[in-house]
Amino acid sequence: MQKRLKIGHRGAKNHVAENTIESIEKALEFGVDGIEIDVHKCASGELVVFHDFTLDRMTNASGEIGKYTLKELKSFKIENRFLIPTLQEVLDVIDKKCMLNIELKGKDTAAETCKIVSHYIENKGWTNDPFLISSFQEKQLEEVFKINKNLRLGVLTKANVADAMEFAKTINAYALHPNYTLLSKDNVKLAQKEGYKVMTWTVNDDESIKRMTSYGVDAIISDNPDRL
Ligand code: G3P
Ligand code: MG
């Protein structure tokens, strides 16, 4: 059996402000196998690494992230000190040390993600395998599949594993990414029998980590990657 992957959620969210370079460095310090981040497209077209659709919870600014240019976003601060990184900045910090799960969170992020990932594969010594592109948005996953059949895709769900699996078939997905509360030993086994990796989130407490481990999931995505 392949080993279970330890994946830091938004870097190491419970240790350093989520989706920042410093949070990613912390996850790397913990020796993770992978890191999950969220991407949005900003008004000047670049992809930035950020979870929410608005700046209010995480920064000293407010309003929709997609309405600001990269230059404007770079003038805002997270916890008075951290900056919002671009996808390239995150890739340069990871520098092939672990896999990267890019969650397409904001709209219209599929094409630009494919472009950046291809650039790192063609010019910076990365291969396809360390990249895993996931989303709750079926349209965006379909778009990635159309652009590049070699990229690994993950279908996120917080509703229904069977439905996610049905959709996964249509885009030849690599993995299902169900919220951990949806999982049982049986549906994990079934998904794996159908050929999918099961990568579950956000599993933070020791008891749930133990339960997911006993179900035989392929990866655990956690705000506390040090506990995995
Ligand atoms: O990719 C797993 C998880 O990050 C999905 O939910 O809201 O934390 O992006 P969210
Ligand atoms: Mg996410």
Domain edges within the chain: 5-37+98-227
> 38 CB under 6 A from ligand 1?
yes
Identify the pLDDT of residue 52.
98
Q: How far apart are CA 204 and CA 212, in angstroms?
A: 11
- Is residue 9 annotated as part of the catalytic site, yes or no? yes
* Residue 141 phi, psi (nearest 5): -65, -40
Find the 51 Cα to ligand 2 centroid distance in Å: 7
Mean pLDDT over all residues of the chain? Answer: 98
Does residue 40 have its Cβ closer than 6 Å to ligand 1?
no
Query: Is 177 a known active-site residue?
Result: no
ipTM > 0.85 (yes/no) = yes
Beta carbons of 88 and 116 less than 8 angstroms apart: yes
How is domain 5-37+98-227 classified at the CATH fold level? TIM Barrel (3.20.20)
On whether the pTM is more than 0.90, the answer is yes
Structure tokens at 206: 């020791």
Host H or E run for residue 188: helix 185-193
Tens digit of each residue's pLDDT (9 = 90 or more) over 4-22? 999 999 999 999 999 999 9
Is the C-beta atom of 221 inside 6 A of ligand 1? Answer: yes
Question: Residue 9 to residues 3, 76, 127: CA-CA distances in angstroms?
Answer: 18, 22, 22
For ligand 1, atom 1, the nearest C-alpha belongs to: 103
Categorize the per-residue pLDDT at 1 as very low, low, confident or very high, splitting at 50, 70 and 90.
low
Region for residue 113 given its phi and psi (left: phi exceeds 0; alpha: psi -120 to 50; beta: otherwise): alpha
